[in-house]
Structure 1
C-alpha cells in the first residue's frame, strides 16, 4: 500500500513521526506522497513501482530525477531540493527519493482562476526559468543519465536515434496502434536526423513541462511559479525539445510571452530557422510516439486509449509530414486500426 511504502522510506531515513501523510494524485507511474512534520518540514516522497512493465527508457527513472534537481539547483530556485535518495531497488526500503515540497498547485488545476494578465506573466516567468535551465551543460554526453539505452552518446544525433529506436521497438513489442508503420516512421526520422548535428552542447532538458508539472503559488493578482517538478524524464540534449511540452499540442512560435522570458534569460531571441523547426518536429514525433505507446504497458482503459489516439495520432502525422519526408502513402489519422508493423 502507498502509505506503508512511504512509512518504510521514512523509517529508512530516520525521520520522526509525521503529522500527516497525504497520497498525491496526478501521476501515472510512481507512488507519491506529501509528508508533513510537526517542526514545519514538508517533504514529498516518490517511490517507483517495484516491478514496472513500461517503456525501455523508463528504467531507473529516479536516477534522472535526482540528476535533474542537482543540475538545476544553480539555475533556479523553483525546484525541489533532494533530502534523501536511494537509487538501488534492492535496498531494504527499495528505491526512493525524498525531496522538499514546492509551494503551489499545478497550473493545470487552476483552470479559469487565472486572468489573461496573470497567464501572460506566468508564461514570461516560465520562459525565463526554462532558459536558465538550458544554460546548464551536461557532464560530457547526450541522453538519459540513467543510461537505460546504453552509455551517454558522444553526439545528439546518436542519442536521439537510440531514443527513437527504443520507443519504436517498444511499439512493435506491445503491438501499439500507430498512424504509420514502424518501418516508415523509422525511415522518416532517419532521413531528417542530419539537422540534429546542429546541437553541439548537451543542455539540461526537462521534457515534461506540461502545466501539470508547473506549480503556481500566490494570491490572485500576485501569481508566480512556485515549482518545477517531476524531472524524471529529463535528458542531456537539444534545448528546443522542451518547446514540445511547454507548448503541448500548440505552436511554440506563437507563445510570445514565453519566448520573451526565454530570450531575457538566454540573452538572445530563439531563431526558428527551418532546421530548428525540423528539430522540433523530430522531438514532437518522439514525444507523441511515447504518448501512444505507453498506453499499452500502463493498461489504459478503452476510453483513455481512444482519447489519446484522437489527440495525439493526428499530431504525429502532422509532425512526420512537417519533416518533409512523410511515409509513402499518407493515411488519415484515425483510420488505421492495426498494430504497428514494418509493412
Structure 2
C-alpha cells in the first residue's frame, strides 16, 4: 500500500496510525485491501486519512480519535458525540459525509474510528481567499442559512448530545466551566479565572435558565470545517465537516455565533440569513460567560499545541470578560 502520513514530532498530540491499522480496517469494513492512504492535515484533533480501497469507485475517509488517555475530560469522547448527533443533523444531510462504519470496540486499534464517504470540494481556507472580497458576503449568507437550520432543531435536555445531560441550561454551562477548569489544572495551568467564571454563572444561574428550550449547537462550525465547490464563479458551500462538539443549549453559545460577531466585515452578511442576534442586557451578560467558556477551551488547545503566547493571552481575555460579567 502507498502510505503517506504526516511527519510529526514524537511529543505531538496527534499520533499517526500505521499502514497495517488502515489495511486491517479496510478489510473489516470492505472485505478488500486498501491501495493507498494519504493523511490530511487541516484538523488539530482527530487524524484523518483519504484511503483508496480496491474495488471502490471513490476513496473514503478514515478518521481516528485520539487514544482515550490523551483526551481531556471536557472533550467527552468527541467522535462518539458526533455519531450520536447524526440523527438530529438530517436537516443538513446533503452537505454531510455519510458514515459507512463506526467502531468503538478498540479491537483493531486502541482508538475510536469512523469510515465516511469522501465529499467533493476544496477546504474553504484554501479557496475562499481566491475570490474577490465582495463575493465573500454570499459565502457568509450560506453559512448563516446552515447555522439557522441547525439551531432550529430542538432537543430533549441540555449539554453535549452524547452525554452528560442536564435539566437546565445553567447546570450545563456551570458544569462545563468546572470541567474545563479541572482539565486546565490537570495540565498544570492556573484555572482560577475559569473557576471564578463558574461561580459567577452559578450565582446568576437564573439568567442562564431563561434559556428553556434546548437547541442544537454545531460546536465548531466555521471556515476551517467547510468545503467549497472547486470552480464555481462565487464561493459555494458543498460540504460541512466535524460535528464532534455538538451541544444542546442556547444558540448564542455556539462557536459559529462567536465567530460571526468577531468582525464587522463581509461576515455581517451572515445575519441576513440567520436573523439578528438578541441584544438584551441578559443576552449580553450570557455572551460574556459563553466567551469565557470558549476561551477556556481554547487555552487547553493552545497548551496542547505548545503555544505559550496564546495561553498567556487567554488570561487577559478572560479577565476582561469577567470584569464585564461581574
Note the 1:1-343 alignment, pairs <5 A: 1-2=16-17, 3-37=19-53, 39-88=56-105, 90-94=106-110, 95-110=112-127, 112-138=129-155, 140-147=156-163, 151-177=164-190, 181-219=193-231, 221-243=233-255, 247=259, 250-251=262-263, 255-263=267-275, 269-296=276-303, 298=304, 300-301=305-306, 304-310=307-313, 312-323=314-325, 325=326
> What CA distance in whole angstroms lies between the structure 2 residues aligned with 1:274 and 1:129?
27
Q: Does the 8 Å CA contact 1:204/1:236 hold for their aligned counterparts?
A: yes
String of CA shifts for 1:79-98, please: whole Å, max 9, x gaps.
1121111233x334452111
**Structure 1: runs of 5 or more not aligned:** 264-268, 326-343
CA contact (8 A) 1:249 1:315 kept: no
TM-superposed deviation, 1:121? 0.3
1:46: how far off? 0.8
For 1:184-224, what per-residue CA distance to the aligned partner results, in whole angstroms no more than 9, with x for missing partners?
33333333433221222221111112321122224252321
CA separation in 2, counterparts of 1:189 and 1:85?
37
How many Å separate the matches in 2 of 1:74 and 1:183? Answer: 37
Q: What TM-score do you get using the length of structure 2 for normalisation?
A: 0.84
User: In the alignment, is the contact (CA less than 8 A) between 1:104 and 1:215 conserved in 2?
Assistant: yes
Contact 2:38 2:51 in 1 (8 A): yes
Query: Relative to structure 2, which stretch is displaced further, 61-70 or 225-234?
Result: 61-70
Q: Compared with structure 1, are the counterparts of its residues 11 and 126 closer, same or farther at alpha carbon in structure 2 (3 Å cutoff)?
A: same
TM-score with structure 1 length normalisation? 0.80
Structure 2 unaligned segments of length 5 or more: list them.
1-15
Q: 2:260·2:270 contact (CA, 8 Å) conserved in 1? A: no
Note the C-alpha offset of 1:230: 1.0
Greater CA drift, 69-78 or 206-215? 69-78
CA contact (8 A) 1:141 1:153 kept: yes
Instruction: Tell me the distance in 2 between the aligned counterparts of 1:41 and 1:177.
Output: 48
Higher RCO, 1 vs 2 (CA within 8 Å, ≥6 residues apart): 1
Q: Is the 8 A contact 1:60 1:87 kept in 2?
A: no
Q: Quote the offset at 1:246 in angstroms.
A: 5.4
Q: Give the superposition deviation at 1:110.
A: 3.1
Which residue of structure 1 lines up, in the alignment, with residue 3 of structure 2? Answer: none
The root-mean-square deviation of aligned C-alpha atoms, in Å, is 2.6
